[in-house]
């Protein structure tokens, strides 16, 4: 195998592992949150508010996981770069991750090179997880909202 394939293969492997970790974290986070909401002794409306805050926190953690993966890959020569930055720091990678995960899109910075595969996959994953969270929140609201 030609050595020029290594950076691209590394991006694909890191992307697959990152997606697996983030989806598992999301699943386990929602399972924990559902149980936590059921055990809370507060009113239904407060449970819904607590649930929304926790889902948002879960998404922030997922964005940081993707940001960490981007940051690690940027340290490997040939995996890519971020247009709009001379030197990308960790928080720059997290910022790029947030713009990608939320499907806001690229503005002041954008990925270049093989890490575009990670960014594209993150956008698809983020869209799926956000809609999953919306469904979860709707179900929890149906269960607790009317019980005041």
Fold of 5-147: Helix Hairpins (1.10.287)
Q: How far apart are CA 17 and CA 35, in angstroms?
A: 27
How many Cβ atoms sit within 10 Å of the Cβ of residue 69? 23
pLDDT of 72-106, one tens digit each?
999 999 999 999 988 889 999 999 999 999 988 88
Q: How far apart are CA 145 and CA 53, in angstroms?
A: 16
| pLDDT of residue 1 exceeding 60 | no
Sign of the four-CA dihedral 62, 50, 131, 27:
positive
| pLDDT of residue 143 exceeding 60 | yes
0.85 cut: is pTM over it?
yes
Distance spanning both ends of the chain, measured CA to CA: 64
pLDDT of 4-43, one tens digit each?
789 999 999 999 999 999 999 999 999 999 999 888 877 7
């Amino acid at each position: 195998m030609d050595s020029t394939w290594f950076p691209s293969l590394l991006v694909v492997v890191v992307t697959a592992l990152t997606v697996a970790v983030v989806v598992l974290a999301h699943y386990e986070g929602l399972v924990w949150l559902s149980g936590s909401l059921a055990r809370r002794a507060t009113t239904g409306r407060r449970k819904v508010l607590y649930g929304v805050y926790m889902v948002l926190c879960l998404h922030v953690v997922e964005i940081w996981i993707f940001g960490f993966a981007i940051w690690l890959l940027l340290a490997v020569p040939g995996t890519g770069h971020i247009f709009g930055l001379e030197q990308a720091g960790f928080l720059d990678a997290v910022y790029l991750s947030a713009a990608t995960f939320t499907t806001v899109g690229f503005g002041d910075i954008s990925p270049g090179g093989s890490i575009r595969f990670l960014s594209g996959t993150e956008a698809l994953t983020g869209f799926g997880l956000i809609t999953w969270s919306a469904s979860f929140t709707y179900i929890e609201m149906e269960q607790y909202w009317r019980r005041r």
